[in-house]
Amino acid sequence: MQKTPKSLRLQIGLFGRTNVGKSSFLNLVANQAAAITSPVPGTTTDVVEKVMELLPLGPIVLLDTAGLDDTGALGSERIRASRAVFDRADVVAIVCETQRWDGVEHDIIRQAQERKSPVIAIINKADQAPPSEEFIEAVRATGVDQILTCSSTDLERREDTLSEFKRALIACCPEDFIRPPPLIGDLLRPGGLVAMVVPIDLQAPKGRLILPQVMSIRDALDNDAAALVVKEREYAHMLANLRTPPDLAVCDSQVVMKMVADTPPDVKCTTFSILFSRLKGDLQEMARGAAAIDGLRAGDRILIAESCSHHAAEDDIGRVKIPRWLRQYVGMELQVDTYAGRDFPENVGDYRLIIHCGACMTNRREMLSRIQLARRAGVPITNYGICISLVQGVLKRALAPFPAALDAFNREQQKQRKSRA
Ligand code: SF4
């Protein structure tokens, strides 16, 4: 279980003032000194991540953040890092002391509500001063979903605290986490076959497949289907040798034009990136966003965002290929900025379009937060696979397995054509 990627774990953010016992609570749950604790306020500087298994919930990540009232020299920097955790926390846990629940706690609730994240209040240090019924009721009235009281330094009561924490988590665990959108299984029938076209080029990691490919193979097997994995050069030959065609063909976006050309018209096709756009984000929104590509003008600013900071190869997809294909498609010069990993600009309103990778390394919550940020700023957002399929003239084929997304694209394209006419 230690190997489960963080992107598939329930991410629980611990927020609160300095010195309320967030790190002690993390250590209590982890049953080890994973985070440094001290009576000195502001001991937690960077976000501390602890991966563990919490049965019966399964794999989780606890994210210990710096106090949101930190006034130290680096306070604002720490607070900025802590705030970024709101974007990825599936559950927001507010650690507080008895009888203190005002501005900071209200601000945390507001941040959680903006992202529709469930909130657990952890009233700590109950051994020093047990909370009054009035205080608990006042906390409940501010919109928290679950409340527990504990003393995070009382190791003798660890099991009680842990089971209360699990109870609270199970009671408010987001539906999206329990039942995420399907990856590929719903597109296959039991006993069916998916052909996966995987280029092994300079960008391919040595000796292994990448996460979207591995997860798709596993999902096909989980749904009692088979997966044929082949490079793009051998694909047509392999297809010709099959007695019955596959139910679905999926490829890396970079070879989508060739895959579509090689695949019989009655076989559904898509890309790994498009599959992940549905799993991690909102495929309809991303399909709608692609309609903005036809309306780009010279000098427009485009944001390309990737959820991991992999080593960029010479002909990198986000830094070189997509900017080149986009410029060729619109026939104009565009300003393209690329952001990677947790780095994501706050000023998304300065951009005409956001093109996001499949986000395999991040969780659904963080991707939905980015989509929400774009929506609020009125900036269309699309995805690598959708953008590449559009500029290579095969989008309708690549979106055909997802009729609602194709419809969203068609409607938005017509609307924008009318407004430009
Ligand atoms: S760039 Fe995006 S899709 Fe590609 S490996 Fe990184 S997180 Fe996954």
Listed in sequence order, the residues at least 6 apart from 391 whose beta carbon sits closer than 8 Å to its beta carbon are 293, 325, 326, 328, 329
- Asked whether residue 209 falls in the same domain as residue 253, the answer is yes
- Asked whether residue 86 falls in the same domain as residue 138, the answer is yes
Among 178, 210, 234, identify where a domain stops: 178
The answer to whether the CB of 292 falls within 8 A of the CB of 391 is no
Among 213, 239, 274, identify where a domain stops: 274
Average pLDDT of the residues of the chain:
92
CA dihedral 358, 363, 365, 366 (to 10 degrees): -70
Burial annotation 176-195 (CB, 10 A radius, 16+ → b, else e): ebeeeeebbbebbeeebbbb
Report CA(384)–ligand 1 centroid distance (Å).
Answer: 10
> Which of 8, 209, 211 most suits a substitution to test ligand 1, by most atoms within 8 Å of the C-beta?
211
Answer yes or no: is 201 within a domain: yes
Residue of the CA atom closest to atom 6 of ligand 1: 308
Listed in sequence order, the residues at least 6 apart from 240 whose beta carbon sits closer than 8 Å to its beta carbon are none
How many beta carbons lie within 10 A of that of residue 409, not counting itself? 24
> Which of 213, 304, 342, 360 most suits a substitution to test ligand 1, by most atoms within 8 Å of the C-beta?
360
- Asked whether residue 112 falls in the same domain as residue 260, the answer is no
Mean pLDDT of 309-322: 84
- Tell whether the torsion through CA atoms of 86, 90, 91 and 95 is positive or negative: negative
Tokens 């009561």 sit at which residue?
157
Report CA(276)–ligand 1 centroid distance (Å).
Answer: 10
Mean pLDDT of 247-256: 97
Q: Residue 251's domain is classified under what CATH number?
A: 3.40.50.11420
Answer yes or no: is 17 within a domain: yes
Q: What is the pLDDT of residue 412?
A: 97
Q: What is the pLDDT of residue 2?
A: 47
**Closest ligand 1 atom, residue 360 Cα:** 8
Over 90: is that where the pLDDT of 5 sits? no
Answer yes or no: is 395 within a domain: no
Mean pLDDT of 301-315: 86
Report CA(306)–ligand 1 centroid distance (Å).
Answer: 6
- Among 98-107, 248-257, 352-361, name the one with the lowest average pLDDT: 98-107
- Asked whether residue 170 falls in the same domain as residue 92, the answer is yes
Report CA(333)–ligand 1 centroid distance (Å).
Answer: 26
**DSSP, res 181:** P
Q: What is the pLDDT of residue 121?
A: 97
Name the domain count of the chain.
2
Q: What is the pLDDT of residue 43?
A: 64
Answer yes or no: is 160 within a domain: yes
**Closest ligand 1 atom, residue 384 Cα:** 3
Residue range 117-138, pLDDT digits in tens: 999 999 999 999 899 999 999 9
- pLDDT level of residue 64 (50, 70, 90 thresholds): very high
Listed in sequence order, the residues at least 6 apart from 321 whose beta carbon sits closer than 8 Å to its beta carbon are 254, 315
Mean pLDDT of 83-102: 93
Answer yes or no: is 239 within a domain: yes
Residue of the CA atom closest to atom 8 of ligand 1: 360
Q: What is the pLDDT of residue 41?
A: 66
- Asked whether residue 221 falls in the same domain as residue 93, the answer is no
**Alpha carbon distance 338, 42 (integer Å):** 33
Answer yes or no: is 92 within a domain: yes
Q: What is the pLDDT of residue 1?
A: 42
- Asked whether residue 168 falls in the same domain as residue 197, the answer is no
Report CA(280)–ligand 1 centroid distance (Å).
Answer: 12
- Among 67-76, 79-88, 214-223, name the one with the lowest average pLDDT: 67-76
Residue range 354-379, pLDDT digits in tens: 999 999 999 999 999 899 899 999 99
Tokens 């903006």 sit at which residue?
114
Q: What is the largest CA-CA distance in the chain?
A: 75
Tokens 């599959």 sit at which residue?
275
Q: What is the pLDDT of residue 421?
A: 85
Residue of the CA atom closest to atom 1 of ligand 1: 306
How many beta carbons lie within 10 A of that of residue 106, not counting itself? 13
- Asked whether residue 193 falls in the same domain as residue 162, the answer is no
Report CA(307)–ligand 1 centroid distance (Å).
Answer: 6
The answer to whether the CB of 329 falls within 8 A of the CB of 353 is no
Q: How many CA atoms does the CB half-sphere of 157 hold within 13 Å?
A: 14
Nearest to 96 by CA among 34, 140, 55: 140
Q: Residue 78's domain is classified under what CATH number?
A: 3.40.50.300
Report CA(338)–ligand 1 centroid distance (Å).
Answer: 13
Mean pLDDT of 336-347: 91
- Asked whether residue 205 falls in the same domain as residue 261, the answer is yes
Answer yes or no: is 135 within a domain: yes
How many beta carbons lie within 10 A of that of residue 175, not counting itself? 7
Q: What is the pLDDT of residue 183?
A: 96
Above pLDDT 70, what percent of the chain?
96
Q: What is the pLDDT of residue 257?
A: 97
- β-partners of residue 49 are 63
Mean pLDDT of 58-75: 83
Q: What is the pLDDT of residue 44?
A: 62
Over 50: is that where the pLDDT of 214 sits? yes
- Structural domain for 269, as ranges: 185-274
Q: What is the pLDDT of residue 42?
A: 62
Answer yes or no: is 117 within a domain: yes
Between 341 and 335, where is the model more confident?
Answer: 335
Over 70: is that where the pLDDT of 286 sits? yes
Ligand 1 proximal residues by C-beta, below 6 Å? 210, 306-308, 310, 357-361
- Asked whether residue 207 falls in the same domain as residue 129, the answer is no
- Among 269-278, 335-344, 400-409, name the one with the lowest average pLDDT: 335-344
Over 90: is that where the pLDDT of 74 sits? no
Using DSSP, state whether 84 is helix, strand or coil: helix
Nearest to 115 by CA among 96, 134, 89, 97: 89
- Asked whether residue 13 falls in the same domain as residue 79, the answer is yes
Alpha helices by DSSP H, 141-282 = 158-172, 175-178, 211-222, 232-241, 256-262, 272-280
> Which of 355, 357, 362 most suits a substitution to test ligand 1, by most atoms within 8 Å of the C-beta?
357
